[in-house]
Amino acid sequence: MSVDRGTNLLTMRDIGVRFGGIQALSGADIQVDEGDIAAIIGPNGAGKTTLLNVISGMVLPNDGTVLFDGQDISTQPPHKRARLGVVRTFQNLEVFSNMTVLENVMTGAHRLVEYGVLASIFKSPGYHAGERRLRELAIDRLEFVGLADKAHHPAGDLPYGSQRLLEMARAMAAKPKLLLLDEPAAGLNTKETGRLAEIILAMRDDYGISIVLVEHDMDLIMEISNPITVLNFGSVITTGTPREVQTHPEVIAAYLGEDD
Ligand SMILES: Nc1ncnc2c1ncn2[C@@H]1O[C@H](COP(=O)(O)OP(=O)(O)O)[C@@H](O)[C@H]1O
Ligand SMILES: [Mg+2]
C-alpha cells in the first residue's frame, strides 16, 4: 500500500495535562508524519500513557492543541476520533475472554458498519451483509497476526502472547490511520517480541498505518522506531533518531535515575 511518507498526520502543540496537583504533561510538542513508527519513551510516571490518552480523546488537555490530518480535534470525544482513524490498544490486556477470537476481532470493526438498531434487531438483509463483511475483515486481520486457525477458540484459552497479538488484530480491524500502542511488548518473551516487531513493521508497510509506540523494551524501540521522543516528568527532553536519543546526555541521566 502506498503511504504519503513524510506528510504530517498528527501535531500536538504545547500540551499540558494536570490531575489535581500533578502536572502529568507540560508544554509537550509531538509530531507524527505518515509512515512513522513514532516512539514515546521515558521512565515510569513520565506521562506516556497520558499522552496517548490525549491523542485518543480519553483525556482532554488543560492546555494545547491536537491536530489530526489538518483538523483540530482537541475537543472531540474518543468515538469521533476513532471514526477519523485514531485507534488504540491498552497497557493492560483488554481481551474479552469468554468471546471467541473471531468475535473479539469483530468488535474492533463494528464502528465501520452503519446499520440502525432496528436493522440489527430484525436481522435485515443489510445487517447480514454487514456482518459478513465484518467477518471477512476480521479473518483477514487474524491471518495477518497468525491466529486464523484459532478463530473459533475462546479468547481466554489463548496463551498470553497470543492474546496480545489478538489485540493487535482487533485494533487493525478498526482500520486505523494512526494506531496508538501502549506497551505492546509487556510480558512477551524475546521470540514473541520479535514477532511483534515484524507485525508492527508490516502494519505500516502493508496496511499504511502510522504508529505511536509507547514501550519499555529498548531493543524493540531502537530496532523499529523513528523518531523517538523522550519524556521525563511530563516534559519532552528530546526528539530524534535512535542514535541521537541514545547518546543524549539528559536521556542517559533520566534513565540512570530510574530505580526499576
Ligand atoms: N487519571 C489520573 N488521575 C490522577 N493522576 C494520574 C492519572 N493518570 C495518570 N496520573 C499521573 O500522571 C503521571 C503520568 O502518568 P502516566 O501517563 O500513566 O505515566 P507513564 O505511562 O509514563 O508511566 C503520573 O504521576 C500518574 O500518577
Ligand atoms: Mg503508562
Q: Which 3-state string (H, E, C) describes the chain?
A: CCCCCCCEEEEEEEEEEEECCEEEEEEEEEEEECCCEEEEECCCCCCHHHHHHHHHCCCCCCEEEEEECCEECCCCCHHHHHHHCEEECCCCCCCCCCCEHHHHHHHHHHHHCCCCHHHHHHCCHHHHHHHHHHHHHHHHHHHHHCCHHHCCCEHHHCCHHHHHHHHHHHHHHCCCCEEEEECCCCCCCHHHHHHHHHHHHHHHHHHCCEEEEECCCHHHHHHHCECEEEEECCEEEEEECHHHHHCCHHHHHHHHCCCC
Ligand at shortest distance from the CA of 42: 1
pLDDT tens-digit profile of 202-212?
999 999 999 99
Atom of ligand 1 nearest to the CA of 51: 17
> Ligand 1 centre and the CA of 105: distance in Å?
29
pLDDT at 90: 79
CA 60 – CA 54 distance, rounded (Å): 6
What band does 125 get if pLDDT is binned at 50, 70 and 90?
Answer: confident
pLDDT at 115: 56
More confident residue, 252 or 148: 148
**Would you say residue 2 has pLDDT above 60?**
no
pLDDT at 93: 74
Q: Note the pTM of the prediction, 2 decimals.
A: 0.91
> Ligand 1 centre and the CA of 49: distance in Å?
7
| Residue ID of nearest Cα to ligand 1 atom 6 | 19
CA 41 – CA 122 distance, rounded (Å): 49
What band does 47 get if pLDDT is binned at 50, 70 and 90?
Answer: very high
> Ligand 2 centre and the CA of 115: distance in Å?
36
Q: What's the mean pLDDT in 229-239?
A: 96
CA 110 – CA 130 distance, rounded (Å): 9
Q: How many CB atoms lie within 10 A of CB 27?
A: 14
Measured between alpha carbons, how far apart are the two ends of the chain, in Å? 40
pLDDT tens-digit profile of 59-100?
999 999 999 999 999 999 998 999 999 999 877 778 899 999
Q: Classify domain 1-85+176-260 by CATH architecture.
A: 3-Layer(aba) Sandwich (3.40)
> Ligand 1 centre and the CA of 59: distance in Å?
11
Residues of CATH 3.40.50.300 domain(s) within the chain? 1-85+176-260, 93-175
Atom of ligand 1 nearest to the CA of 53: 17
More confident residue, 253 or 167: 167
Ligand 1 pocket residue status of 19, Cβ below 6 Å:
yes
pLDDT at 110: 72
Atom of ligand 1 nearest to the CA of 47: 17
pLDDT tens-digit profile of 134-157?
899 999 999 999 999 999 999 999
pLDDT at 259: 53
- Find the angle CA(207)-CA(208)-CA(212) to the nearest 5 degrees: 110
**Would you say residue 166 has pLDDT above 60?**
yes
Ligand 1 pocket residue status of 49, Cβ below 6 Å:
yes
Q: Classify domain 93-175 by CATH architecture.
A: 3-Layer(aba) Sandwich (3.40)
pLDDT at 98: 93
> Ligand 1 centre and the CA of 18: distance in Å?
9
Does an H or E element contain 170, and which?
Answer: helix 160-173
CB-based burial of residue 161 (10 Å sphere; 0-12 exposed, 13-18 middle, 19+ buried)?
middle
| Weakest mean pLDDT among 17-21, 71-75, 77-81, 227-231 | 77-81
What band does 9 get if pLDDT is binned at 50, 70 and 90?
Answer: very high
pLDDT at 130: 78
Query: What residues does 121 pair with on adjacent strands?
Result: none
